């Protein structure tokens, strides 16, 4: 196995934070496992192996199975289908829970009506006791309650007592001990009342049956709600076509996606979904990419343009050269990124894990103490049983395990719909606390489509020939300035020559030999480095153009500065609004650029940017981010180029715009798919909303336990004279889990654009 190899496993049967901890501990105990993280919401285990470790996948699966859960290896062949399979599993689980609940309800209703009805309605009690003896009634209740426990409720007891046997109690253990204690006490009271103190032979079959029924209801509602948390990923999966029309054997054939090879030619008719990533060979159309990038307007595509699998072809047929297979496509990459973010354990989750590690044993100890205390000092043994059972049921930690991962799961899916990919889930938490966002200028705040605006050459210089030479020098460069110069020459149909002795002066400019002349193109610093000084007129011209927001470069030929060229890169239309939205969130902004200070300040003033760093070297950006972190705290950086990678990595949160280089994207924590800077503020708003949602979930997961355990232990009886019934405990437990999941689902409807 390779160093730090990651293994993903689908795990079924988990239902609380304690289950998660058991699986994690089982995996971590295996020699060679470096880290293990289990996500309750996605039902997955993520395992990282130590360097050079050799651990068989079957070893991991067997360790999970020994804890009473089912596991399956996820690999390249099935990992993209895993969300859909998980959705099917959740749907199946919800159906099974529904059937179990309905069966339990049918069996429980006679027990509940015969017991509670006779307590609450005196005429009904009189009529019932005329029809059936108390002993026969007890036998009926015992039979039905037992059926509830051994048929629809059997998993609670099988899993719960197994966890107790392994000295790792979980939610099932609390239910099993609680409901089982009420049932056992009632059986003794019914069949051997002489073993109990006088007056203590009360029956609690209805408590045992109703507790199981209500918990099954909660589990059914929870499973149904959890099925909606992964809907965003499943929407992405549904974008993937199953077939493509490919040119084979001198004809068009409809073949399954997995039979399509790189280099194949496929045909996509108007109105059809583009099946795979590729490049257009023939045709033109408007392509709707909203489902991938969040961009609402269709994008015009023609020959040589790239298209993304899963997007919708508009009004014209397209012949496409396939460039990526289905499992390597943009869509597959997005799904993997979203799942990777969901697999991340946020820092706040570590605090939850530490609490849940001791929570269940503590609850068992409290319940034991409550039983002993009421048995010794209470009015009767039956009070001890009821209060102890109420404590066990009310404290089930289901909601604790769901509080964080469900919010992350829904939020990352919602983010993908908005065109935001969180490559690491912890970026969700970090972005929420960002105090300053720094932007690269070219290609981020601007369109990276510069055009030559002004050419000023000394008297006697042939401007046409000079432009031809300059474009020849730059023809093989991908820098935006180089592109602008080449485009300007091509617009005039000027011939291009092959340059020699080409040299890049990092952050300053370039130089090369073209025909009989040696040229330097770049900043005043490059000219000074070569011992060249601009004339007063040239310097004045340079500054006037820079003050207009243009990027200005000097042109030197054969040791003489012969002129200046001004290039204009338009500011993105949405940039000003995006900066304003960040300011409304209380976030300061900065711009880092290699442009002259006058050009930089012109752009910064137009966008109301707070801090400006101009005339910077590419290698300076990471150091500038460090300085901003020291001055402002948590800093995010938005960039798109290769020279942005160090700054993206240095920032607390690196944000790469989607059209940027692979290097920039790989260095970032967050990727904006649609190149819309407004998505930056959307990402911040979403992260802040997610953190609020997590805090709300944690409050409800923990606070109700803190509040209700004392009431269940007997405080309510002491204050009001009424017992806190285990039935109330079951209702509270079910409510907390369902609330946590449904609260997380609110993020699906989150509107991140300020109104």
Tell me the catalytic residues: 440
What distance in Å separates the CA atoms of residue 619 and residue 538, rounded to the nearest whole number?
A: 29
* Beta-strand relationship, 306-307 and 278-282: antiparallel
DSSP reduced 3-state for 93? helix
Beta-strand pair 517-522/509-514: antiparallel
Q: How many CA atoms lie within 13 A of 570 on its CB side?
A: 6
In this structure, the number of other CB atoms found within 10 A of the CB of residue 47 comes to: 23
- Residues 552, 509: contact at Cβ < 8 Å? no
DSSP string covering 634-683? SEEEEE-SGGGHHHHHHSSEEEEETTS-HHHHHH-SEEETT--THHHHHH
For residues 618 and 647, what is the distance between their CA atoms, to the nearest angstrom?
Answer: 9
CA atoms of 649 and 621, how far apart (whole Å): 11
> Which residues, including other chains, have CB under 8 Å from residue 522's CB and lie 6 or more apart?
505, 508, 509, 510, 511, 553, 554
Distances (CA, A) of 326 to 4, 234, 293, 305, 319: 26, 16, 18, 19, 18
If you search the block for the tokens 């806190």, which residue do you land on? Answer: 724
Kindly state the tokens that stand for 486. Answer: 């080449």
Of how many residues is the chain composed?
A: 755
Please answer whether residues 551 and 448 qualify as being in contact, where contact means their C-beta atoms are separated by less than 8 angstroms. no
Sign of CA dihedral 78, 84, 89, 92: negative
In the block, residue with structure tokens 């099988």: 158
Tell me 259's DSSP state.
G
Crossing angle between the packed helical segments 381-394 and 205-229, to the nearest 10 degrees: 0
CA 542 from centre of chain: 47
CA 44/CA 111 separation, integer angstroms: 39
CA distance 566 to 549: 10
User: For residue 713, what are its two tokens?
Assistant: 């232990």
82-120 and 231-239 helices, crossing angle to 10°: 140
Tell me how far apart the alpha carbons of residues 407 and 469 are, in angstroms, rounded to a whole number.
Answer: 58
Q: How many angstroms separate the Cα of 129 from the Cα of each of 186, 189, 563, 646?
A: 19, 19, 110, 82
- Report the C-alpha dihedral over residues 251, 257, 259, 265, rounded to 10 degrees: 40
List of residues 6+ apart from 620 with CB closer than 8 A: 507, 613
Q: Are 481 and 488 in contact (CB under 8 A)?
A: no
Map residue 253 onto helix, strand or coil. Answer: strand
Cα separation, 705 vs 718, in Å, equals 19
Structure-block tokens of residue 280: 């257009």
For the beta carbon of residue 269, count every other beta carbon within 10 angstroms: 11
The tokens describing 479, both together, are 């820098």
Q: What are the residues whose beta carbons fall under 8 Å from the beta carbon of 526, sequence distance 6 or more? A: 505, 508, 509, 520, 554
- β-pairing verdict for 653-657 and 670-672: parallel
Closest CA to 417 of 595, 232, 598: 232
DSSP SS3 for 451: strand
Q: What is d(CA 500, CA 392) in angstroms, rounded to the nearest whole number?
A: 82
């Amino acid at each position: 196995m390779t160093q730090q190899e990651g293994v993903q496993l689908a795990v079924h049967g988990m239902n609380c934070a304690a289950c998660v901890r058991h699986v994690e501990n089982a995996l971590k105990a295996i020699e060679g496992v470096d880290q293990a993280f289990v996500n309750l919401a996605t039902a997955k285990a993520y395992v990282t192996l130590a360097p050079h470790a050799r651990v068989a996948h079957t070893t991991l699966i067997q360790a999970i199975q020994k804890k009473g859960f089912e596991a399956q290896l996820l690999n390249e062949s099935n990992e993209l289908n895993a969300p859909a399979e998980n959705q099917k599993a959740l749907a199946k689980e919800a159906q099974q829970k529904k059937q179990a609940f309905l069966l339990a309800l049918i069996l429980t209703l006679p027990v509940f009506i015969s017991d509670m009805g006779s307590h609450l309605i005196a005429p009904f009690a009189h009529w019932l006791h005329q029809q059936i003896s108390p002993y026969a009634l007890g036998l009926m209740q015992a039979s039905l309650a037992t059926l509830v426990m051994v048929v629809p409720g059997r998993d609670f007891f099988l899993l719960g007592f197994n966890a107790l046997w392994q000295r790792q109690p979980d939610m099932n253990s609390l239910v099993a001990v609680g409901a089982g204690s009420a049932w056992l006490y009632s059986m003794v009271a019914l069949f051997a009342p002489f073993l109990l103190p006088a007056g203590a032979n009360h029956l609690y079959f209805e408590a045992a049956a109703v507790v199981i029924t209500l918990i099954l209801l909660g589990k059914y509602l929870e499973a149904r709600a959890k099925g909606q948390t992964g809907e965003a990923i499943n929407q992405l999966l549904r974008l993937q076509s199953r077939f493509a029309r490919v040119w084979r054997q001198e004809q068009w054939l409809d073949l399954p996606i997995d039979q399509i090879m790189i280099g194949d030619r496929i045909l996509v008719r108007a109105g059809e979904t583009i099946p795979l990533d590729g490049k257009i060979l023939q045709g033109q159309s408007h392509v709707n990419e909203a489902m991938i990038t969040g961009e609402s307007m269709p994008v015009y595509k023609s020959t040589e343009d790239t298209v993304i699998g899963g997007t919708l072809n508009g009004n014209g047929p397209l012949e496409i050269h396939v460039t990526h297979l289905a499992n390597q496509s943009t869509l597959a990459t997005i799904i993997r990124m979203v799942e990777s973010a969901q697999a991340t354990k946020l820092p706040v989750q570590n605090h939850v894990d530490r609490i849940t590690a001791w929570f269940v044993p503590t609850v068992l100890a409290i319940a034991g103490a409550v039983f002993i205390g009421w048995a010794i000092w209470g009015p009767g043994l039956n009070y001890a049983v009821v209060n102890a059972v109420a404590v066990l049921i009310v404290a089930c930690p289901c909601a604790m395990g769901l509080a964080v991962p469900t919010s992350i799961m829904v939020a990352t899916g919602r983010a993908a719909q908005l065109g935001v990919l969180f490559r690491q889930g912890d970026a969700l938490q970090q972005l929420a606390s960002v105090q300053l966002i720094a932007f690269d200028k070219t290609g981020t705040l601007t369109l990276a489509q510069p055009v030559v605006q002004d050419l000023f050459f000394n008297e006697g210089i042939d401007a046409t020939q000079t432009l031809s030479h300059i474009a020849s020098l730059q023809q093989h460069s991908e820098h935006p300035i180089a592109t602008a110069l080449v485009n300007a020459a091509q617009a005039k149909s000027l011939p291009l020559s092959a340059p020699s002795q080409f040299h890049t002066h990092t952050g300053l400019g370039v130089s090369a030999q073209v025909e009989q002349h040696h040229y330097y193109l770049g900043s005043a610093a490059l000219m000074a480095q070569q011992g060249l000084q601009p004339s007063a007129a040239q310097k004045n011209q340079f500054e006037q153009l820079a003050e207009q927001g243009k990027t200005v470069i000097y042109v030197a030929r054969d040791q003489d500065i012969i002129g200046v060229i001004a290039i204009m890169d338009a500011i993105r239309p949405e940039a000003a609004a995006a900066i304003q939205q960040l300011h409304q969130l209380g976030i300061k902004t900065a711009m880092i650029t290699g442009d002259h200070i006058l050009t930089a300040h012109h752009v910064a003033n137009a966008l109301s940017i707070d801090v400006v760093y101009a005339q910077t070297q590419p290698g300076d950006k990471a150091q500038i981010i460090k300085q901003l972190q020291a001055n402002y705290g948590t800093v995010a950086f938005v960039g798109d180029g290769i020279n942005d990678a160090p700054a993206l990595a240095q920032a607390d949160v690196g944000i790469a715009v989607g059209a940027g280089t692979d290097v920039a994207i790989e260095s970032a924590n967050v990727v904006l798919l649609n190149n819309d800077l407004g998505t930056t503020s959307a990402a911040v708003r979403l992260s802040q909303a997610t953190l609020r949602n997590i805090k709300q979930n944690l409050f409800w997961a923990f606070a109700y336990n803190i509040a209700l355990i004392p009431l269940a232990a007997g405080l309510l009886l002491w204050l009001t004279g009424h017992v806190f019934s285990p039935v109330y405990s079951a209702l509270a437990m079910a409510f907390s889990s369902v609330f946590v999941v449904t609260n997380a689902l609110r993020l699906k409807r989150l509107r991140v654009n300020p109104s």
